[in-house]
């Protein structure tokens, strides 16, 4: 095979992979999320997903810091949720955060319990999101990324809503962007 033919084949295979991913996301968005809800211990869930998220960022030359306000003496905190779907939420958010910061920069993942909800936030110090863009984030097929399909945040919001939660996004030039995933919290004994 000539070099030119090999390059064309490689390009065709890359495009086929991209289209496969796009179709998968469109199909996923088209279906209502079906949750396999089980009690999830927050510490165990976060410890389980932390290495995967850190590796996702490390491949792109970024690092991940996990901060937790869950005191060790605090009663066992858990949420009712689908672990696989929630992992997808945080993988999507980490990908977005990774794309917003440069090589060598850090993304912070923070867990903060309240009396009724737990806030799991993803923060990056990248350029702020413009207010007119911020208002449209999460709308299906809205994207500002070249090659993006606009389904990542739409899927995130849909999964979080199916868990009885909400997604809040703040973005300023001074602080960067923080995406907060608010999920109903249960404490042992409830």
3-state SS, residue 128: coil
Average pLDDT over residues 116-141: 90
pLDDT at 40 over 70: yes
Output the CATH code of domain 32-187: 3.30.565.10
Give the C-alpha distances (Å, rounded to integers) separating 84 from 7, 31, 161.
Answer: 37, 16, 15
Question: Which pLDDT belongs to residue 29?
Answer: 64
Q: Is residue 62 a contact partner of residue 104, using CB atoms and an 8 Å limit?
A: yes
Q: Percent of the chain, pLDDT > 90?
A: 29
Q: Which of 24-33, 54-63, 153-162 has the lowest mean pLDDT?
A: 24-33
Instruction: Classify residue 32 by its DSSP letter.
Output: P
Average pLDDT over residues 154-170: 94
Of the candidates 117, 118, 92, the one whose C-alpha atom is nearest the C-alpha of residue 107 is 92
Residue with tokens 């937790």: 68
pLDDT at 190 over 50: no
Greater confidence (33 vs 51) lies with 51
Question: Which pLDDT belongs to residue 76?
Answer: 67
HSE, CB side, 13 Å, CA atoms: give it for residue 28.
Answer: 21
pTM strictly above 0.85: no
Q: How confident is the model at residue 169 (pLDDT cuts 50, 70, 90)?
A: very high
Residue with tokens 């070099």: 3
Question: Which pLDDT belongs to residue 73?
Answer: 56
pLDDT at 149 over 90: no
pLDDT at 164 over 90: yes
Give the C-alpha distances (Å, rounded to integers) separating 126 from 23, 99, 150.
Answer: 29, 9, 19
pLDDT at 14 over 50: yes
Q: Which of 7-11, 59-63, 156-160 has the lowest mean pLDDT?
A: 7-11
What DSSP assignment string belongs to 158-188?
Answer: HHHHHTT-EEEEEEETTTEEEEEEEEE-EET
Q: What region does 77 belong to: left with phi over 0, alpha with psi -120 to 50, or beta?
A: beta
Give the C-alpha distances (Å, rounded to integers) separating 122 from 95, 109, 144, 175, 179.
Answer: 11, 5, 19, 12, 5
């Amino acid at each position: 095979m000539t070099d030119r033919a090999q390059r064309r084949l490689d390009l065709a295979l890359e495009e086929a992979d991209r289209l496969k991913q796009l179709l998968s996301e469109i199909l996923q968005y088209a279906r209502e999320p079906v949750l396999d809800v089980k009690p999830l211990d927050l510490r165990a869930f976060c410890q389980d997903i932390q290495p995967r998220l850190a590796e996702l960022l490390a491949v792109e030359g970024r690092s991940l810091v996990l901060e937790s306000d869950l005191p060790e003496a605090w009663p066992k905190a858990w949420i009712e949720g689908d672990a696989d779907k929630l992992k997808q939420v945080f993988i999507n958010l980490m990908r977005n955060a990774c794309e917003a910061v440069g090589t060598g920069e850090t993304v912070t993942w923070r867990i903060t319990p309240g009396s009724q909800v737990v806030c799991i936030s993803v923060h990056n110090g990248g350029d702020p999101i413009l207010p007119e863009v911020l208002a449209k984030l999460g709308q299906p097929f809205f994207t500002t990324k070249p090659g993006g399909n606009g389904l990542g945040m739409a899927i995130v919001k849909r999964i979080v809503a199916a868990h009885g939660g909400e997604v809040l996004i703040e973005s300023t030039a001074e602080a960067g962007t923080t995406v907060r995933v608010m999920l109903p919290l249960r404490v042992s004994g409830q």
